[in-house]
Amino acid sequence: GAVVSQHPSRVICKSGTSVKIECRSLDFQATTMFWYRQFPKQSLMLMATSNEGSKATYEQGVEKDKFLINHASLTLSTLTVTSAHPEDSSFYICSANHGQYGYTFGSGTRLTVV
């Protein structure tokens, strides 16, 4: 139990375009989901906490207008990278908390902006 599905697994986009990443809890409801970013050989850095039905809470230094988070249902949170630039290229991972199984992570999205 406690599976989190993340799509797409890999995306390449042109500079200036927007990219949407989806995170779904498949067999449980997640009122809170978390979005992380990971650079090569670096740890997971929390970007924002996504709460169902309310605005996301962003970590210091993360531009909320650039990284739009929507958590419209108990099973789906989306992260949209707007006006993407090469420096936004990274590995993005979502996570949801399931009381019994702790924190479960999606498989991640490799974003490359060219």
Partner 1 sequence: QKEVEQDPGPLSVPEGAIVSLNCTYSNSAFQYFMWYRQYSRKGPELLMYTYSSGNKEDGRFTAQVDKSSKYISLFIRDSQPSDSATYLCAMSVNQAGTALIFGKGTTLSVSS
Stretch of residues binding partner 1 (CB under 8 A), selected from 11-19, 66-74, 75-83, 87-95: 87-95
By the rule CB under 8 A, 43 interacts with partner 1: yes
Which residues, 6 or more positions from 85, have their beta carbon under 8 angstroms from its beta carbon? 15, 16, 113
Residues 92-111 binding partner 1 (CB under 8 A) are: 93, 95, 97, 99, 101-108, 110
The pair of three-digit structure tokens given for residue 5, joined into one six-digit string:
């599905």
* Residue 92 near residue 45, CB atoms below 8 Å: no
* Residue 66 near residue 17, CB atoms below 8 Å: no
Size of the site for partner 1 (CB under 8 A): 25
The contact set with partner 1 (CB under 8 A) reads 4, 6, 32, 34, 41-46, 49, 91, 93, 95, 97, 99, 101-108, 110
